[in-house]
Structure 1
């Protein structure tokens, strides 16, 4: 795994770690602050397996909404390093995944996927770009499956989702979010797996006591909020049994309306996290 690791350091002290395995962001520490992402201590760093935690890239399929492996193949394949640099007040890394015999065998398209991560101060910008290199149109779903680290899930709220309709993947039903999402109280409520549609550019605020992380997205229409809860977490081999209580996924995603690219066209989506 060590050969795959990339360390980013900005002049102000912000840092991040990434792996070329899956084009995966593993760690983000804003300047003067502690770790903001959850990474499972039970993750297996082996070819063909996804890393649990950090920011996995879901592409070209979300979850099991299609014939491909769950969440597609981008998170389990080796990426290549394109660029790494330190500016006067930030640091940047760019990684790339191109189609191969392996990907074309299950998804017959020529494409180039690029992930860039920029850190500086208390901000992390992650950008995912896809270009259709083939002659035919292609269609895909995508998500930045961000695992935010929390100390006490019972003290967490997510503001900015009120008024949106969502698909509840646990209940297999659509519903309306009438107010801010509060993760307080009964542990049973915490088996959360929701796709919020039409989030677009509206900012979300994840609060826990005095800590607040602003989550903004561009190019991604939807957002996913996920926590496996204690029962489902116990069944995940790559998560400790109590891991569910230390994380909340808030993901920028395109699921409801897959992105369509004609030959030569490109798409870009971004998720920005800022520790306030």
Structure 2
């Protein structure tokens, strides 16, 4: 597979995926976090904050952070960044290759430490596959309960930061008639009325029962990104500032 394990300028382990027609992706073993996704023309499709950090006690802001076993304040706050603040390993026994013919992919694995089990006493195995296509990036996850004598519930999110032009030139289609909590109005529940979401100021919303596909249209860049999901039935977050 066209995947290289290298170190970044600061000495951190990263996986670099390269698709034969020019697309690429970068995954940090710290956090299992995708920090770059470029198309065949070399355009960066993800956003990374200039204030991002690689300190072992901090998370990186941008890319595609993995939120597990909770999202936001939906559980004990001390475990919010468990998956994002741990070093993942390369999966030595990965599942079979993707069925869609994609040949560029990497599999990572996360298991709890002894200290993690003191905070959240459930033994789990979290797998992540990142598959890079000509014009697609697919993240597939699987959570396995190791201790069958205990059941547990969890929240999970792939918190994707997309790179766009001037936010006033961006619109999101597919959220019409969806209910949402408005975090700028004390989590008031509302319903999306327009046929597209546009931005003329700060927005921080959690949409409920979102559709399986939405489109982010960037008029200035003349580019449309389509986000698809499977197995995430209940919510989706839109934030711009």
TM range (shorter): 0.7 to 0.9
Give yes or no for the alignment of 1:22 onto 2:31: yes
Which residue of the other structure, out of 210, 231, 237, is the alignment partner of 1:199? Answer: 210
| Cα deviations by residue, 1:4-54 (Å, 9 ceiling, x for unpaired) | 211010112110001011010000012224000001122110112110100
* 2:72 counterpart residue number: 63
Gaps of 5+ in 2: 1-9
TM-score by length of structure 2 reads 0.86
Q: Of residues 20, 29, 38 in structure 1, which corresponds to 2:47?
A: 38
Q: Which whole-Å CA distance do the structure 2 matches of 1:146 and 1:15 have between them? A: 17
Higher share of residues assigned strand? 1
Moved over 4 A (4+): 86-89
In the alignment of these two chains, the number of paired residues is 223
Return the offset for 1:200.
4.8
Distance 2:136 2:11 in 1: 26
RMSD over aligned CA atoms reads: 2.1
Structure 2 Cα separation of the partners of residues 69 and 180 of structure 1? 39
Are 2:152 and 1:164 aligned?
Answer: no
Distance 2:168 2:103 in 1: 34
- Out of 145, 155, 166, the residue aligned to residue 169 of structure 2 is 155
1:68 and 1:106 in contact (8 A); partners too: no
Match of 2:189 in 1: 174
SS at match of 1:104: helix
TM-score scaled by structure 1? 0.76
1:189-208 alpha-carbon deviations (Å, 9 max, x no partner):
32x2211111252x100001
Gaps in structure 1 of 5+ consecutive residues: 230-276
Confirm or deny: 8 A CA contact 1:63 1:72 kept in the other structure: no
Distance 1:99 1:105 in 2: 10
Q: Quote the offset at 1:117 in angstroms.
A: 0.6
Any conservation in 2 of the 1:59–1:143 contact (CA below 8 Å)?
A: yes
1:216 aligns with 2:228: yes
Paired residue for 2:7? none
Counterpart in the other structure of 1:139: 153
